Amino acid sequence: MAEGWWRARLASIRMPPSSGGSPRAYLPRTHFPPGRAHATEAHPTPRHAVNIERYRSIIPDWDRFVETIERPEPTTLRVCTRRVDPAEVTARLEADGFGLEPVDGLEDVFRVVERPRLASDTVLHWHGLYYIQQASTAVVAPVLDPAPGARVLDLCAAPGGKTTHLADRMGGRGCLVAVEVNENRVRALLGNLYRTAHTNVLVVSGDGRSLPDAALFDHVLTDVPCSAEGTLRKRGGKTRGRAPTGKFHRRLTRRQERLLRRALRLTRPGGTVLYVTCTFAPEENEAVVSRVLADAPTEVVPLTLPVPHASGLTAFEEERFHPALEGAARIYPHHLDSGGLFLCLLRRLEGEVPDTDASQDAMAAPVGGMEGGWAAPPVLYPPGDGEAEAARAIERALDDLRTTFGVQDEALERFRWTARGDSVWAHSAGEWPLAGWPEGGHWRLVSAGVRAFGPDAQRRLRPSNDLLRVLDAAVRERRVELTEGEALALLEGRGPAVAIGDGPVALVLEGHVIGRGDVRDGRLRSEIAKARARPLREVLERAVQRGD
């Protein structure tokens, strides 16, 4: 979920003494910038009070709900099935001392019932073979259910749990545009996308309310900013005595409604929009959707989830909501031993969507030659006169990749290659919407798939760490297999002598490529960027100390 709304709120917040006057100390860690993307292993202190008593009349099995929120939330992980068989991950984790049990109703999601250490403290996690994710949020992607090849938009994407889950279900095909307004959270999103090696995701920095609507999507996920009441287990179920103020809710719900209306404008007739929050508050859930249903061409698609849940509300206190909202779903902490979540699936119908936050650049007309605003990605971005030269440079780089690392054409056919600046990006999006988006708008393309080639000191394009990781088993030559101890020594600058000719190599740990290395005078050195190498080194240091 996006968090830009926190910043506007900070100026009016009087920090408690325990915060040392620091806004960062008073914000929930789940909304922090990069590095803390996995909420189930963190213990943040939320900013707002949660007056849960106001929900007694709408939460079934109240006593069980209260008992659940006072217990720590168990860690759950989702296996990235596009890259690995879940049986391999579970077998390796169990051999390492972890106890796992499947979460009923959620495919490839496992609850950690025993752990010798944090589930993020493994080489498998660094490889991106699983994602630590709340069980409740793992419901989202299967509900939206994008098919391979679909056009999908995630309006508030960071830190990336739902985004990567959607990309997994798309099988690396189609185009998934992940939008995030907060620059710090964009970095967290990129980190998780690169770690999990997804190539069909375009990351866009911008406000979802201002996205152009020249190109329409099949599915839009609208996981809006909210008061996050459903995350109260992260502080042991304790409240701060009062709920968010009326003024706070009015500002927040206006933003939520605008995001939902924009999502509908960006969806083709017959397509679907999934509205999601992690709060219990009807003001942010049924009330928002009810106002949109009153004047927008859309209808509720009743949800039948494979996990325990409650129906949406048609009334709360003195307010009445659209009767179709009974088809929405409310997941409370005791349903999945997880967090709280609200989901409402909408189908876009024919007709115009009233948009109270539309701007002129958000209503661009499709460019000629495109199908509904979609077009094949160009060889050069932004497009220009250098396309022929860019194509020749890309082909030279691919020839070098084939020759040096033994990569076969069939492993490369699934990618498109786009030159941007001095780099080349590899992505598996067969089409994208950017050609129809006006330049100079309130958005910018951050990445398309992974950065595949970058220049060396002689300005020659060479394969990146990310490309070698994505190719993984397709890298057939110049692979250097490392033990944990050897990998640690290498990352510490104590590269071993190797029996392979000088030049670039692919570094391999536990059967998977971890990045690029270089051999000089028979001695190996790492070329993994420090920011990526540091967390791996820390994992390996602890593993070596344990004697794994």
**CB proximity list for 509: less than 8 A, separation 6 or greater:** 123, 481, 482, 484, 487
CB-side neighbour CA atoms (13 Å) of 43: 7
User: Pairing between strand 310-311 and 109-114?
Assistant: unpaired
Per the rule left: phi > 0, alpha: psi between -120 and 50, beta: everything else, 164 is: alpha
Is cis: bond before 159, omega within 30 of 0? yes
Query: How many Å apart are CA 289 and CA 269, to the nearest integer?
Result: 18
156 has catalytic annotation: no
Query: How many Å apart are CA 483 and CA 407, to the nearest integer?
Result: 24
Nearest to 121 by CA among 541, 474, 547, 495: 541
Nearest to 331 by CA among 6, 99, 488, 106: 106
Query: How many Å apart are CA 390 and CA 385, to the nearest integer?
Result: 10
Integer angstrom CA distances of residue 275 from 25, 106, 112, 223, 233: 30, 20, 29, 6, 23
Q: Out of 156, 226, 278, 344, which one is annotated catalytic?
A: 278
Query: What's the distance, Cα to Cα, between the start and end of the chain in Å?
Result: 37
**CB proximity list for 360: less than 8 A, separation 6 or greater:** none
Query: How many Å apart are CA 34 and CA 30, to the nearest integer?
Result: 10
Nearest to 141 by CA among 122, 160, 116: 160
Residues β-bridged to residue 310: 330
Integer angstrom CA distances of residue 510 from 32, 88, 127, 216, 536: 32, 12, 10, 42, 13
Integer angstrom CA distances of residue 148 from 171, 193, 215, 250, 484: 6, 18, 19, 39, 36
One-letter amino acid for residue 128 of the chain:
G
Query: How many Å apart are CA 299 and CA 508, to the nearest integer?
Result: 51
Query: How many Å apart are CA 266 and CA 296, to the nearest integer?
Result: 13
Residues 84, 85, 91, 94: is their CA dihedral positive or negative? positive
Q: Which residues are catalytic?
A: 278
